[in-house]
Amino acid sequence: MAERRLSSLPSQASASLRSDARRNRALVLQAARSAFEEAGLGAPLGEIARRAGVGTGTVYRHFPSKEALFRAAVSDRIVLFTDTARELAHADDPGAVFYRYLSAVIRLTVRNKALCEALEGRFEASPGVEEAFREALAVLLQRAQQADAVRKDVTIDDLMALLMGCLSMEQRRGPGVAQGRMTALACDSLRPGRRVTKLPANPPAGRNETQCGVCGGVVAPARTGRPARYCGAACRQKAHRERARARA
């Protein structure tokens, strides 16, 4: 009986150590999220250890560098954004869902310096995390476009750039500007309508041609005179009729 009790001690001690290690790791990660949210990657590692109630050595045992800790803390938040987007992918009223989701991401991110640094590309999160978020957001964009809630010429690249722009505008808004106002103004540019600004066409990658302003087909550069805007007479006439209707 005594031998059995003694033989069980090492396994009990090992289980206790593993439990303590998991608890310490969770404390470090929680403290890191708070510190990075306030100061970004500039948050001192010693301050994170102090908030977690552990020594700096304990932090290094779980995370080999401050960058690794930053990735772990930020990636969790981006993964949460991604999971939420995936859950909304088949929701009713995709247009309203898209705009609410985009506004929520901006509102939650703008208060978090670490998330801003990650999404703005100043520091990379864990591999694949940002790409998964981008893909999930692209699905919401496509569904909103299919529901005629977002203009058809907007791409996921446009949307990511707009998201970054909204973060910057919300951070720099004056004291008399309500939170979310700049985001609402930017979102209006995504809505379809007869009076929306026509976007300059993106040239095909690695080539000098431009795209037709009507059908999006390739337009070869003109050798002389003004650059061609349309691929042929049919598209030119269609553009003329559209302008006439707009004036009317």
Per-residue H/E/C for 44-95: CHHHHHHHHCCCHHHHHHHCCCHHHHHHHHHHHHHHHHHHHHHHCCCCCCHH
What pTM did the predictor assign?
A: 0.67
Q: At CB < 8 A and 24+ separation, what contacts does 115-120 make? A: 115/37, 115/74, 115/77, 115/78, 116/40, 116/167, 116/171, 117/40, 117/41, 117/74, 118/74, 118/78, 119/78, 119/163, 119/164, 119/167, 120/164, 120/167
Q: What is the pLDDT of residues 129-175, one digit of tens each?
A: 888 999 999 999 999 999 999 999 899 999 999 999 998 888 887 77
Run of H or E residues at 100: helix 94-110
Task: Write down the pLDDT at residue 130.
Answer: 87
Our CA angle for 148, 150, 151, nearest 5°, is 90
Q: What is the DSSP letter of 211?
A: E
| Spatial distance between the Cα atoms of 108 and 136, rounded to a whole number of angstroms | 17
Phi, psi of 142 (to 5 degrees): -60, -40
What does CATH list as the number for 19-64?
A: 1.10.10.60
Q: Specify the amino acid at residue 124.
A: E
Domain ranges (residues) in the chain: 19-64, 69-192, 210-247
pLDDT at 6 over 50: no
Mean pLDDT of 207-223: 62
% of the chain beyond a pLDDT of 90 = 24
Mean pLDDT of the chain: 80
Task: Write down the pLDDT at residue 168.
Answer: 87
Closest CA to 112 of 168, 172, 36: 36
pLDDT at 8 over 60: no
Q: Specify the amino acid at residue 226.
A: R
pLDDT at 213 over 50: yes
Class of the domain covering 69-192: mainly alpha
pLDDT at 16 over 60: no
Phi, psi of 211 (to 5 degrees): -110, 150
- 70 with 63: CB under 8 angstroms? no
78 vs 215, higher pLDDT:
78
Q: Is the dihedral of CA 127, 128, 133, 135 positive or negative?
A: positive
Q: Say which residues have a Cβ less than 8 Å from residue 196's Cβ, sequence separation at least 6.
A: 151, 189
Task: Write down the pLDDT at residue 43.
Answer: 87
> Directed axis angle between helix 66-87 and helix 129-146, to 10°?
20
Per-residue H/E/C for 109-168: HHCCHHHHHHHCCCCCCCCCHHHHHHHHHHHHHHHHHHCCCCCCCCCHHHHHHHHHHHHH
Torsion, CA 34, CA 37, CA 40, CA 43, rounded to 10 = -20
